Structure 1
Amino acid sequence: MSAVRLEQVSVHFGRTVALAGLDLEVAVGETLALLGPSGSGKSTALKAIAGFLRPSGGRVFLGGEDVTDLPPHRRGLGVVVQSYALFPHMRVFDNVAFGLRARRAGRKEIERRVTEVLELVGMAGFRDRYPRELSGGQQQRIAIARALAIRPPVLLLDEPLSALDAALREDMIAELLRLRAELPDTAIIHVTHDQGEALALADRIAVMRDAKLVDIGPARELYQRPPSAFTASFLGSANLLPVRVLDIGADTGAQVRLGSLTLRAETTGTMLAGQEATLGVRPHRLTVHAEAAGGLPARLVGVQWRGNGFRLDLELDGLGPARAEVSTMDGLPALGERVGVTVADGCPLVPAGGAR
């Protein structure tokens, strides 16, 4: 039995469609990331599951039970929002105990379960502090502890890391991975616009755009073999370059023509020789060198230093813009000069079309 199932769930605000006919299923113990840009419908989907929004159409099921008409407090879910929403006038213990007291748990049960979840998130020594006395990462841990105290079958995380700095975000990703291992029967739905978070934390990723589900699948599979141009560009920042399929191999390989280059590519669906397609090329799979060395002719139009290397913006002759990542600028011409670009074999093919 699934932990969560949505059947054709839609949410409309007047003429505005915030979510359009979403079908989704999350297994017990699975972590699913809802990934997409702002306005894609991912947070709306989470609110429909939590009961904060009443669907305009479709049904919401939790553990096989239709909960579409149930209010949030009767769904038994744990929810962590971006702002953490801790009660500022309550100490940590009372914040975490709030849901248990609302369910009229006994004093001993409250003490035992609050202590248990504070230990689980590494905050056992902070039970008497107020939220204002905690860092952002510590507040996040308390928000998660409060959500877990009621032992929910489903934990909903709505952009829980977006307010944290980069270093603390990395620490919290590791913390969430540890927490997931400690809760093998809890389904987690994690809303994020950050592809790194989604790839690190999720068993599966659901990519959303314009209120609709675009693609869904195992995280590694979606990254390595994206089934659409949008997923290729959004999940991994792939350059989308037009190619012609020359030959299809017996397995998943194909030979393609990109400008003056002939390359081996990985197919992600049905492809035919002579077909126009799009090659999804991650920035690190482009090599940039002096034009005399060959490759695709291009112009270097932008350079950004990123600490561990450089991001190069290129204009490929006849092919359009592309982005590359290099570790050093040694041997490369100055900004505005001509360069040559080569592409690694094994990049995935996706159906032609689709905006980046």
Structure 2
Amino acid sequence: MTPAVELRDVSVHFGRTVALRGLDLSVAPGETLALLGPSGSGKSTALKAVAGFLRPTSGRVLLGGRDVTDEPPNRRGLGVVVQSYALFPHMKVVDNVAFGLRARRVPRRAVAERVAEVLALVGMTGFGDRYPRQLSGGQQQRVAIARALAIRPPVLLLDEPLSALDAALREEMVAELLRLRAELPDTAVVYVTHDQGEALALADRIAVMRDARLVEVGATPELYHRPAESFTASFLGASNLLPVEVVDADTVRLGHLRLAASSAGLPAGGAVALGVRPHRVGVRAVPGPMTAGSGQTGSAPTDSGPTDSGLAARLLAVQWRGTGYRLDLELDLGHRLRAEVPDVDGLTVGTRVEVSIPDGCPLVRVA
């Protein structure tokens, strides 16, 4: 199948600044690909290269197998939605949505029918005579999406479209985008975001980017549960990265613990770490004297202590997060890690604790 979007060794330089370096990536028709990464990682630059807003310094951009590297944006036939909405403030909603159709000299009756169709698709029927200033942020974003979809683009580019919305509206718009994706099964979507929740909810595949480079790309569940790179594990799911000794292909040693690890696709050699999600870390109090907050342990507890299945640690900080608690811990091995637990019965700052690490955590390459 010919990719809807293909980037071949695309680099973008601004003088001596490298904004994108050697990106190879493709998106299939009907697929949603999220470009995920921190600010300055190159994800928006990649999207602008696809849209035609930036010309690559080197490499080629193809749409449906056609090389469009040297073509302007208006000849690429793409739908684009940006975080600022970019609606024309002096135009009513119907005119904003109809803009691309009229630029293509679509007959007036067909324009009216298509505008009504896409406004219904995004739940904005009845708002056609309003101006953007009369709409909420979420409504303006729906109009921007309707305008992008009006021309029936084979590819929809979304550049952090929800970042200007509050948390409640973002949740609503994620649900709306999921519904739209089901309504448009043949439209390829490239979704740029720094929000891992949006990427996990919407994308079939995720491309993780950092420092103008592609770090790793894969199917969303696979990348979340079995990342190969330490940056992916820490950025996508906030994994704790614990240095371990590799015993064999499926087993590692952490202190006195031997743990089964998932290492599919990880080449032999090089430094590795175990990626442990905070919600998978078990924590229980261990009786014994200790000076809270001093950072120094007292005498070892005599009635109980860490078991063969756990690691000794000290609780450094507790944060209530509404749905549970975030714990910052320091293992006696010297490593810091974070846990997320539903309650903190018997746990206070300075408490001696036992930490349990589950089998099956991914083994990741340390850059």
Same fold per superposition (TM over 0.5) = yes
TM-score (norm 2): 0.91
The alpha carbon displacement at 1:275 in A equals 8.3
Tell me, yes or no, if the aligned pair for 1:93 and 1:114 is still in contact at 8 Å.
yes
Is the aligned partner of 1:288 residue 2:280? no
Tell me, yes or no, if the aligned pair for 1:35 and 1:42 is still in contact at 8 Å.
yes
Tell me, yes or no, if the aligned pair for 2:285 and 2:351 is still in contact at 8 Å.
no
List alignment gaps of at least 5 residues for structure 1. Answer: 249-253
Please state whether the residue corresponding to 1:126 is helix, strand or coil: coil
Is the aligned partner of 1:305 residue 2:301? no
Q: How does 1:333-344 map to 2 (within 5 A)?
A: 334-344=348-358
1:196-221 residue CA offsets vs partner (Å, 9 max, x unmatched): 11111001110101000010110000
Count of aligned residue pairs for this structure pair: 346
Tell me, yes or no, if the aligned pair for 1:286 and 1:325 is still in contact at 8 Å.
yes
The alpha carbon displacement at 1:70 in A equals 0.8
Partners of 1:21 and 1:244 in 2: how far apart? 33
Tell me, yes or no, if the aligned pair for 1:245 and 1:275 is still in contact at 8 Å.
no
1:238-278 residue CA offsets vs partner (Å, 9 max, x unmatched): 00001112233xxxxx2221122221221223566x98631
Tell me, yes or no, if the aligned pair for 2:315 and 2:353 is still in contact at 8 Å.
yes
Gap change, CA 1:270 and 1:139, over 3 Å in 2: closer
Tell me, yes or no, if the aligned pair for 1:241 and 1:319 is still in contact at 8 Å.
no
Match for residue 272 of structure 2 among 272, 277, 286: 277
Is the aligned partner of 1:261 residue 2:263? no
List alignment gaps of at least 5 residues for structure 2. Answer: 287-303
Match for residue 342 of structure 2 among 315, 319, 327: 327
Partners of 1:66 and 1:215 in 2: how far apart? 25
1:71-91 residue CA offsets vs partner (Å, 9 max, x unmatched): 111111000000111111111
- Between 297-306 and 208-217, the greater mean CA deviation after superposition: 297-306
1:135-194 residue CA offsets vs partner (Å, 9 max, x unmatched): 111111100000000111100000011111112211111110110011011000000011
- Between 256-265 and 67-76, the greater mean CA deviation after superposition: 256-265
Partners of 2:359 and 2:267 in 1: how far apart? 17
Partners of 1:143 and 1:319 in 2: how far apart? 51
- Between 22-31 and 290-299, the greater mean CA deviation after superposition: 290-299
* Higher Rg of the two aligned structures: 2
Tell me, yes or no, if the aligned pair for 2:266 and 2:364 is still in contact at 8 Å.
no
The alpha carbon displacement at 1:103 in A equals 1.2
Please state whether the residue corresponding to 2:106 is helix, strand or coil: coil
Gap change, CA 1:45 and 1:276, over 3 Å in 2: closer
**CA RMSD across the alignment:** 1.4
Partners of 2:256 and 2:267 in 1: how far apart? 21
Tell me, yes or no, if the aligned pair for 1:10 and 1:22 is still in contact at 8 Å.
yes
Please state whether the residue corresponding to 2:244 is helix, strand or coil: strand
- Between 298-307 and 230-239, the greater mean CA deviation after superposition: 298-307
Corresponding residue for residue 149 of structure 1: 150
Gap change, CA 1:63 and 1:288, over 3 Å in 2: same
Partners of 2:316 and 2:260 in 1: how far apart? 28
Corresponding residue for residue 350 of structure 1: 364
Tell me, yes or no, if the aligned pair for 1:226 and 1:348 is still in contact at 8 Å.
yes
Please state whether the residue corresponding to 1:124 is helix, strand or coil: coil
Partners of 2:305 and 2:44 in 1: how far apart? 48
Tell me, yes or no, if the aligned pair for 1:244 and 1:275 is still in contact at 8 Å.
no
Q: How does 1:50-129 map to 2 (within 5 A)?
A: 50-129=51-130
Corresponding residue for residue 38 of structure 1: 39
Partners of 2:271 and 2:217 in 1: how far apart? 24
1:131 maps to a residue whose letter is: P
The alpha carbon displacement at 1:338 in A equals 2.6
Corresponding residue for residue 251 of structure 1: none
The alpha carbon displacement at 1:337 in A equals 3.2
1:268 maps to a residue whose letter is: A
Spell out structure 1 runs of 4+ moving beyond 3 A: none
- Between 118-127 and 315-324, the greater mean CA deviation after superposition: 315-324
Residue identity (%): 73
2:219 maps to a residue whose letter is: P
